Amino acid sequence: MVGLLFPGQGSQYVGMGRDVCAAEPDARETFEEADDVLGFALSRLCFEGPESDLTLTHNAQAAILTHSIAIHRCVAAALGPTGMAAGHSLGEFSAYVAAGALSLADGLRTVRRRGELMLESGESRSGTMAAILGLDEEAIAAVCEEASASEEVCVAANFNAPGQVVVSGDVGAVERVMELAKAAGARRAVPLNVSGAFHSPLMEVAEAGLADQLSSVAFSAPSFPVVSNVTGGPVTAVTQARELLRRQLTSPVRWTECIGTMRQHGIESFVELGPGNVLTGLLRRIDRQARCRPMGTVAEIEGIAA
């Protein structure tokens, strides 16, 4: 059985979904539904930009979820039975929509609200993120602890692959972590262009608002297990899904563990559904024996059908 991977924020690009909507009725209907649910032309924003608007947190999250589900609807039958699914941060919501646990409409409203809350949190308390390459998790934990003070904090936010960890927190603390990491032997420390300190304690205000939003939408049991970013384990229960999606905003994304769980459950072949191929690249770093194909364009869809 195949494992489904759904990308997170940062994978969006102007033109995403345009070719698929021109060729595939299922994709076109998905984007039209998103336009109706959100009350504005998300499809036009995806197809034409401007990039400055598309990259806004609340727009990017809705755009990526829509593209991911449009692709899933186009290829689900050709892929055959799904064993498990996982999504990176925002992508976990896409996974639950694909699994039938959330409707597309409720998923869109929720990630749109999630993006607004994240943006507001970043505006109320300035934060940032940085990618640290070439240090192990223990070393990163040590430099985060050293760089954090009572007024400022920096934590590991994304365990993306061995030797690739993203840190998140107050601007000053993140800057100190970058310097300490380089001194400790990191190959690179790269600041990220983000609007806040995602997956850190700085998102606590947003987490409360997201809890309210999640309580207002209907959940069903997913038709296949969705692996949680928070625990790295499979989720099949409604109450667990709702709670872990809430906690996700202030918890690290344990992506390496998510992939490990899927491999332990026998998943050998993966597809990345949505814009870009970031997760395909991370999978190669995590497990060179696993196979993954990105699936976000007409050419890629035709390839899987063949």
Q: Is 199 a catalytic residue?
A: yes
Burial level of 211, CB count in 10 A (0-12/13-18/19+)? middle
Q: Is 89 a catalytic residue?
A: yes
- Quickly list DSSP for the chain: -EEEEE--TT---TTTTHHHHHH-HHHHHHHHHHHHHHTS-HHHHHHH--HHHHTSHHHHHHHHHHHHHHHHHHHHHHH--EEEEEESTHHHHHHHHHTTSS-HHHHHHHHHHHHHHHHHHHHHS-EEEEEEES--HHHHHHHHHHH--SS--EEEEEEEETTEEEEEEEHHHHHHHHHHHHHTT-SEEEEE--SS-TTSGGGHHHHHHHHHHHHTS-----SS-EE-TTTSSEE--HHHHHHHHHHGGGS-B-HHHHHHHHHHTT--EEEEESSS-HHHHHHHHH-TT-EEEEE-SHHHHHHHH-
Residue among 37, 42, 36, 73 at smallest CA distance from 58: 42
**Active-site choice (199, 200, 228, 251):** 199
Task: State the Cα–Cα distance between residues 18 and 163, nearest whole angstrom.
Answer: 35
**Active-site choice (89, 148, 168, 200):** 89
Active-site positions read: 89, 199
